[in-house]
Amino acid sequence: MAKISHHKRLTIVPASADVGDDDGLDTAIELSASLISRLREVLDRSDQPVDHIACVLTTRPGEAHEPAVQAARSIVGALTLERGRRVRINLLVTHDESAGEVGETLELLDGDHGGFFAGSTFDLRRTA
């Protein structure tokens, strides 16, 4: 029987984070809790198994989002090690979810040659 691929895309938008306030830590904490919860929900669904999850994190230029980005990166990495070959999880970080490069990256990840990407972060922020 032909293998059926199941891809899931999670869109993540962190709350506003002012530079000089808490420098983004509260936002990182909130985002981490939310991302873990959403990933658990996807991974726990035995009726809708997935073999690839692309997390798309949209940050805003000028905001203190780096702690949130690094937290998301670590969550994706930890789950990659934890789940092994059962599911691939990758992270895209962008300033604009509708930008062409986001679609092109998702196309690569979900395509015939994207199967070795696991635990990777694609930093597509224009000012990165």
Partner 1 sequence: MSILVTGAAGGIGAAIVDQLVEQGHDVVAHDLRPTSTRSGVTPIVGDLLADGFAGPLGDALGDAPLEAVIAAHGVDGSGTIEDLDDAKVSRILQINTATVARLYQSLYELLERHGGTFVVIASQAGLYAEPKNAAYCASKSALVAWVKDTAPRAATRGVAVRVLCPGCTETPLLLAAHERFAAAEGRDFHEVLDARRRSIPIGRFADVTETAAAAVYLAARDHRPSVLAVTGGEVLG
Q: List residues near partner 1 by CB under 8 A.
A: 73, 76-77, 80-81, 83-85, 88, 99-101, 104-105, 108, 111-124, 126, 128
Instruction: Determine the Cα–Cα distance for residues 14 and 117; give it in Å rounded to an integer.
Output: 24
> If you search the block for the tokens 């691929």, which residue do you land on?
5
Q: How far is the CB of 99 from partner 1 (least distance, A)?
A: 7
Q: Pick the closer one to partner 1 by CB: 20 or 111.
A: 111
Instruction: Give the number of other Cβ atoms within 10 Å of residue 73's Cβ.
Output: 18
Q: Pick the closer one to partner 1 by CB: 16 or 74.
A: 74
Q: How far is the CB of 35 from partner 1 (least distance, A)?
A: 16
113 φ, ψ to 5°?
-105, 15
Amino acid, single-letter form, for residue 97: E
Instruction: Determine the Cα–Cα distance for residues 57 and 12; give it in Å rounded to an integer.
Output: 5
Instruction: Determine the Cα–Cα distance for residues 68 and 45; give it in Å rounded to an integer.
Output: 26
Q: Pick the closer one to partner 1 by CB: 27 or 80.
A: 80
Q: Pick the closer one to partner 1 by CB: 15 or 50.
A: 50
Q: How far is the CB of 32 from partner 1 (least distance, A)?
A: 16
